[in-house]
Every structure is written in C-alpha cells, then in structure tokens.
Amino acid sequence: SQQGEEDPQALSIQEGENATMNCSYKTSINNLQWYRQNSGRGLVHLILIRSNEREKHSGRLRVTLDTSKKSSSLLITASRAADTASYFCATDPYYNNNDMRFGAGTRLTVKP
C-alpha cells in the first residue's frame, strides 16, 4: 500500500494565518501528490512533487519533500475561508492495489 499518513488530523486557524500539514509514507516513491477535498465533493489535485525535487511552489501553496525522512509538508500561506477542506497526500503507483485508499487526511478549518 502506498497510503500516506497526514498530521495533524485537524487544524483550525484564522484567516490570513499560514497552515502547515505533514505527510509520512513508508516506501520509495517516484512522486508525491497533495489533494484537497471539500465536503461532499471529489478529490482535487493540488500539486505534484517528484522524488528528485525538494521544494515546489504553486500560488499560495508550498510543498517540501524529504525522501531521507519519507515525509512531505504542505504549506498554505495567507489562508482564506475558502481553503477550508480536507487535505490528503498520496504516493505512486497506488492504482494497482484494490485496497488502496486515502487516509483520513488533515481537516483544515479557516475561520473568517
């Protein structure tokens, strides 16, 4: 299984603050992806970082990857109420495993 494990399980911040979420995994990877899910909606892909990359930016998102520690972090800067969602990480190649599933993710709440 390539399931990632996110922490914290829940995070509550004020609008404008930064939010940091972490992900750990167990095996070697080719890439790691972060997704978000709004209540009752499908997963939306946010950003992909390859195993030979250490940091990647996309708008207000910043992702780091430490393959020696098998961990990644997602930073959302200047958070907005619309960022309220659950955030998940996933590694490849997960689609070969019928039991594959995303973990509980990090539930981020941004208060206006």
d(CA 4, CA 8): 13
β-strands 71-76, 61-66: how paired? antiparallel
Residue 84 touches other proteins, criterion: CB under 8 A? no
Residue 4 touches other proteins, criterion: CB under 8 A? no
Residue 2 touches other proteins, criterion: CB under 8 A? no
Residue 62 touches other proteins, criterion: CB under 8 A? no
Q: Is the peptide bond before 112 cis (omega within 30 degrees of 0)?
A: no
Nearest to 49 by CA among 69, 35, 39: 35
CA–chain centroid gap for 45, Å, is 10
Please report how close the Cβ of residue 45 comes to other proteins at its closest, in angstroms: 4
d(CA 13, CA 73): 17
Ranges within 30-59 binding other proteins (CB under 8 A)? 31, 33, 35, 37, 39-48
Please report how close the Cβ of residue 24 comes to other proteins at its closest, in angstroms: 17
Q: Out of 25, 79, 107, 110, which residue is the one contacting other proteins (CB under 8 A)?
A: 107
Q: Which residues bind other proteins (CB under 8 A)?
A: 31, 33, 35, 37, 39-48, 86, 88, 90, 94-105, 107
